[in-house]
Chains A and B, each alone.
Chain A
């Protein structure tokens, strides 16, 4: 079975440009997470979906970041416009969503964003 798929794996853009990341979770996983990971740091949650509903977006910088999970499957995270400080690895993870924080999360390979 395929794991969590993310694309692109790498993205280099100039500041003020828009960028979008795509995530396809493991089939049947109801919960989807977007994290940002800066170098030398642990992941930080940006947004969590339960099916198609965003249930925790308190850490999402809403002035420039947006996300959607249409039909409760794939998800897209967008930044517009990108700033230098947005350079990081953006990770998508999914879980079954049956056991809350005791669920195992399965992580995608991440998208490494470099903003010049």
Chain B
């Protein structure tokens, strides 16, 4: 049983397209994190959400606590956005569950 489900698993987009990655979870959470992992690179935290919406540059993250669902949007996608995007949920007691990631490839 996966506490965190992401979709799609793989995504290919043309440069400039609007991208949406989805995350659903089945447990009560304190916070939801969106992470970015480049090939051969470390993981970088993009957002921490406990409610509502956050925006940073071309990235937007939303969360619906009642529906246990979060989305990560990328506007005007660029090849440098190509990476694996991971959703992680934080529970009380500092416990975390990670999704398997969405591999995004943006083609010039």
Interface on chain B toward A: helix, strand, loop, or mixed SS? strand
* B residues 65-108 touching A (CB-CB < 8 Å): 86, 88, 90-96, 98-101
* B residues 8-60 touching A (CB-CB < 8 Å): 29-31, 33, 35, 41-45, 48, 50
Stretch of A17-25, A63-71, A72-80, A104-112 with 4 or more beta carbons under 8 angstroms from chain B = A104-112
| A 48-86 to B, binary, CB cutoff 8 A, 1 in contact else 0 | 100000011000000000000000000000000000000
Contacts of A103 in B (CB 8 A): 94
- The docked-state distance in angstroms from the alpha carbon of A102 to that of B91 is 9
Cβ of A44 within 8 Å of any chain B Cβ, yes or no, is yes
Cβ of A45 within 8 Å of any chain B Cβ, yes or no, is yes
Inter-chain contact total with CB atoms closer than 8 Å: 63
Contacts of B96 in A (CB 8 A): 45, 101
- State how many residues of chain A have any CB contact under 8 Å with chain B: 25
- The docked-state distance in angstroms from the alpha carbon of A1 to that of B29 is 31
A102 and B90: CB pair below 8 A? yes
- The docked-state distance in angstroms from the alpha carbon of A102 to that of B45 is 12
Interface centre among A3, A42, A56, A106 (most CB of B within 10 A): A42
Closest to A6 in B: B42
Contact A106 to B45, CB < 8 A, known contacts A42-B88, A100-B30, A101-B94: yes
- The docked-state distance in angstroms from the alpha carbon of A101 to that of B89 is 8
Contact A101 to B42, CB < 8 A, known contacts A40-B100, A42-B88, A42-B101: no
